[in-house]
């Protein structure tokens, strides 16, 4: 069964398809000209709805994150969380296509765009579904570092099905398709992590001043390492510390 481009599907029904069987939205992975035309038509019809689902689902998750601090952070986190999902895909699409071209896997821009939008919409829907669990945990007032790790863990949990959806939606064949898939996942993972770092803060300390963005320092990897260390009771100051390829070493201030 393949969902036609003109099917009058409500947004709620579309969310159901995203969660149950997102492949119905994509059709076959054939390189046939007729199939590619169908993909283009399907993209034109579904893109606004998928974008709406992405923004709504991610904003709900952002509201949950903002509840840790409250006040303006509700709005700030709800605005930035959709960007957290959209920016990595927009930046990473050319690299994903280049990886597959290098591995002799032909894919059109229309199919890649539709597969990406289906993947991030599914991720956003899962994030919204995960929201009540995260809210329940944050309502127990965990310390800041545990709250950050809980948010990162939820994003990893809901992001994995989205990545699998994207990879399953791309054409097969080619001598080195697994290599292209691995490279695509690595690029998207790094872009997602670093985008979150640049868009921070999402979780704000209870007594900290609320700001839309924070000054850039170190990188996401050194920040997560610092949060993990602090969650275990090993404090090294407020600043993230990086070393080697993941960031330069910074002396404590």
Q: Give pLDDT tens digits for 158-205.
A: 999 998 998 888 877 767 788 888 888 889 888 988 888 889 889 988
Q: Which of 113, 121, 96, 97 is nearest to 43 (CA)?
A: 113
**Per-residue confidence at 228, pLDDT binned at 50, 70, 90?**
low
Q: What is the pLDDT of residues 97-134, one digit of tens each?
A: 998 888 888 888 888 999 999 999 999 999 999 999 99
Contacts of 128 (CB under 8 A, 6+ apart): 56, 57, 58, 60, 61
Stretch among 2-11, 43-52, 165-174, 224-233 having the lowest mean pLDDT: 2-11
Q: What is the pLDDT of residues 70-97, one digit of tens each?
A: 889 999 999 999 999 999 999 999 999 9
* pLDDT value of residue 91: 94
* pLDDT value of residue 8: 38
CA distances for 192 relative to 37, 62, 140, 219, angstroms: 31, 15, 28, 12
* pLDDT value of residue 12: 86
Please count the residues of the chain. 253
| Four-CA torsion 188, 22, 19, 224, nearest 10 degrees | 0
Write down the domain spans for the chain.
18-233
152-155 contact pairs (CB < 8 A, 24+): 152/224, 154/61, 154/127, 154/130, 155/127, 155/192, 155/196
* pLDDT value of residue 108: 85
* pLDDT value of residue 194: 85
* pLDDT value of residue 246: 45
- Residue 124 CA to residue 56 CA, distance in Å, equals 8
């Amino acid at each position: 069964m393949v969902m036609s481009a003109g099917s009058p599907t409500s947004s709620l029904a579309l969310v159901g398809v995203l969660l149950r069987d997102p492949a119905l939205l994509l059709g076959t992975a054939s390189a046939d000209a007729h199939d590619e035309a169908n993909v283009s038509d399907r993209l034109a019809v579904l893109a606004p709805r998928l974008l709406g689902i992405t923004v709504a689902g991610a904003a709900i998750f952002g509201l949950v994150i903002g509840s840790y601090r409250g006040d303006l952070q509700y709005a700030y986190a709800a605005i930035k969380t959709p960007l957290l999902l959209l920016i990595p895909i927009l930046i990473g699409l050319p690299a994903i296509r280049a990886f597959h071209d290098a591995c002799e896997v032909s894919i059109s821009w229309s199919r890649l765009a539709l597969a990406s939008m289906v993947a991030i919409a599914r991720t956003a829907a899962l994030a919204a579904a995960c929201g009540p669990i995260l809210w329940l945990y944050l309502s127990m007032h965990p310390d800041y570092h545990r709250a950050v790790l809980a948010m990162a863990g939820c994003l990893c949990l809901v992001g994995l099905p989205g990545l699998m959806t994207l990879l399953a939606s791309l054409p097969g064949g080619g001598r080195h398709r697994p290599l292209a898939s691995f490279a695509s996942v690595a690029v998207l993972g790094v872009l997602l992590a670093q985008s979150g770092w640049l868009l921070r803060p999402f979780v704000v300390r209870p007594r900290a001043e609320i700001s839309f963005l924070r000054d850039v320092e170190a990188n996401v990897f050194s920040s997560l390492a610092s949060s993990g260390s602090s969650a275990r009771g090993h404090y090294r100051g407020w600043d993230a510390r990086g070393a080697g390829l993941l960031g330069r070493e910074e002396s404590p201030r």
